Amino acid sequence: MNYFVTGTDTGVGKTLVSCALLHCFAAQGKRVVGMKPIAAGCNADEQNEDVLQLRAAGNMAVGYGQINPYLFLQAIAPHIAAQRAGVIIQFSRIVESYQELAAQADVVIVEGVGGFRVPLNAQQDSADLVQELGLPIILVVGIRLGCLNHALLTVEAITARGLTLAGWVANIVEPDMPMCEENIAALQQRIDAPLLGVVPYMTQPDAHVEAGQLDLNCLLLASTP
């Protein structure tokens, strides 16, 4: 019941989908919590907006630092942000926080940073973190020009790591994307995992609205051994 949400790129709607998943599971009466192990970019209160949204979408009382072990001020690549802060991102710290959350919740949704292969330290990247956590993946595909290549390369990378792609979400991020339905159909034909939902373009994205676009039955079936 725990999942890692990754994306084909940054800015494709990972937080939106993660929050929608939390709302869906919470509606089933489950104890849910979101986690963003690494976040880069802070508001005036030195907190990350994605983390705040995940925290609000959950229904458990958890500390900010518990769901976000690593926070960096600048919205730049995490390994560069860590270097500038004199910090080394340690997977052991992330795993410890995740296990604490998993022991309390029925569902933990872990949102990655950037895309699937974003470097996190000198030797490891986001794909290594997913392997360390041992979680099935939900892939958010930003439907825009170039999405076919980005999505299929990401799926190929997930498969090469021996990881489980539980499903994917098509998030339309461009209002006038040409041949939108045809692009989604092309991905359905080529991705060996269920399409969990198509999120329409929204000028003001709303995770509650998006939750209604997702099919959890499809997701749970795909995640069953």
Name the residues annotated as catalytic. 36
Tokens of 83: 């270097």
Q: Is residue 70 within 8 Å of 38, Cβ to Cβ?
A: yes
What end-to-end distance do the CA atoms of the chain give, in Å?
12
CB 29 within 8 A of CB 57: no
